[in-house]
Structure 1
C-alpha cells in the first residue's frame, strides 16, 4: 500500500542574480519564472521547509566577484536572509565544496526541489549531481530558465532539459502542483 505522505522537502533557488537575470539577453519567460519561484518560496516558508539560495561567484575583480553588483541576488526575490540559507558557489554544481549536501542531511531533507538559472548550466549540473549523490530531486518545469544560445532558442533549451532530466535524474512537476509538508 503506498502512502500519499509528502517527503520532507527543501527548496533550492539557483543563481537568481542581477547579472544573469538582467543581463544583455533577457531569460525566457523571465517574469513568469520569477513569479513562480517567489510563489514556491512563499509556500516553502508557510510550511516551514528550508530554502537554500545559491549565488554563483567568480574570482575577485571579475564581473561576478562576490562583492560585484552583478552577483547580487535579485531584489524582487522573496527570500528572507534571516531565515533562508544563502551560499556562494564557484562551479555549476551547487554541491561542489558548498556544504549543501551536508545541510540537507542534517535537516532531514528527503527531497530537493530545484528552480532557478541557467537551465543548461547550473540547473542541469545540479540535477545530475543530486542523482550521483543519492539525493532525490524535483525539477519545477516552469520555474527554471535560460537565455538563447547561438544554436538554440531558450524555449527549446528549457523543453529539452525538462524532457531529458525527467525520470532518470529528477521528478518533474509544475510550480502550481509543487507542495511542501508542514515542518
Structure 2
C-alpha cells in the first residue's frame, strides 16, 4: 500500500511574500490525489514545517495552518516537522509501518528542500518513493526560476531516489501502472 504525503502546504509558505510557482494548479492536483487516495483507502499525511517557540512558524501559529484550498475531510494525519525531511524527528516511518505502507507518494513544497530530502530519506528507509512530477513546487531563487528547480529535481531524483510520475498517470488503486 502507498500513502500520500503532502509537505508544507501551509499559509506562511503558500501565501508568503515569495510566491510559489503554479500554486492553483498544484492545489487542484493535490485535491485530485487526495480523492484518489480516499477512494483506495490509502492513508493521507500532511506535514507542517514548524520552528521554535517565539518564531513566526512556532507550533500553532496561523502561518503553519494548512491552506484552506486543500479539501481536507478529517481523515488525514497532520503532523509537525522541524527539519527538511518529513522522517527526521517525527514518527512518520512508524505511522507508515503500522498501516502496512511499503511506498509513499511525495508532493508539496518546497522542491529543493523538503521534497528532495523526504524522497531521499524514504528510499534510504526502504520505502518505494514516488514523486509526483507536477505535484510539487517552490519559489524563484536569485539563480533559478522555480520551473527550472522543479524540472532539475524531477530529473535528478528519478531512478536512484524515487520514481517520478505525472499525477494523471498515478493511481493509488494500481500503483504499478505508471
Measured against the shorter chain, the TM-score band is over 0.9
Q: Partner of 1:4 in structure 2?
A: none
Q: Equivalences for 1:29-68 in 2 at 5 Å?
A: 29-68=22-61
Unaligned 5+ segments in structure 2 are: none
Residue 152 (1) aligns with residue 144 (2): yes
CA RMSD of the aligned region, Å? Answer: 1.0
CA distance in structure 2 between the partners assigned to 1:67 and 1:180 by the alignment: 31
Whether 2:155 is the aligned partner of 1:167: answer no
SS at match of 1:139: strand
What SS does the corresponding residue of 2:100 show, helix, strand or coil? coil
Contact 1:12 1:54 in 2 (8 A): yes
* Counterpart among 128, 131, 134 of residue 142 in structure 1: 134
Larger RCO of the pair (alpha carbons < 8 Å, separation 6+): 1
Q: How does 1:1-12 map to 2 (within 5 A)?
A: 8-12=1-5
Deviation at 1:20, TM superposition (A): 0.3
SS for the counterpart of 2:70 is: coil
Deviation at 1:84, TM superposition (A): 1.1
Q: How far apart, in 2, do the equivalents of 1:122 and 1:103 lie?
A: 19
Distance 2:108 2:138 in 1: 9
* Corresponding residue for residue 99 of structure 1: 91
Distance 2:112 2:157 in 1: 11
What CA deviation, in whole Å up to 9, does each residue of 1:95-114 have, x standing for no partner?
Answer: 01211111111111121000
Give the TM-score normalised by the residue count of structure 2.
Answer: 0.95
* Structure 1 residue runs without a partner (length 5+): 1-7
Give the number of equivalent residue pairs. Answer: 174
**Deviation, structure 1 residue 181:** 2.5
1:28 to 21, 25, 46: 21
Determine the C-alpha separation between the residues in 1 that align with 2:71 and 2:161. Answer: 27
Q: 1:75 aligns with which of 68, 73, 92?
A: 68
Secondary structure of the structure 1 residue equivalent to 2:5:
strand
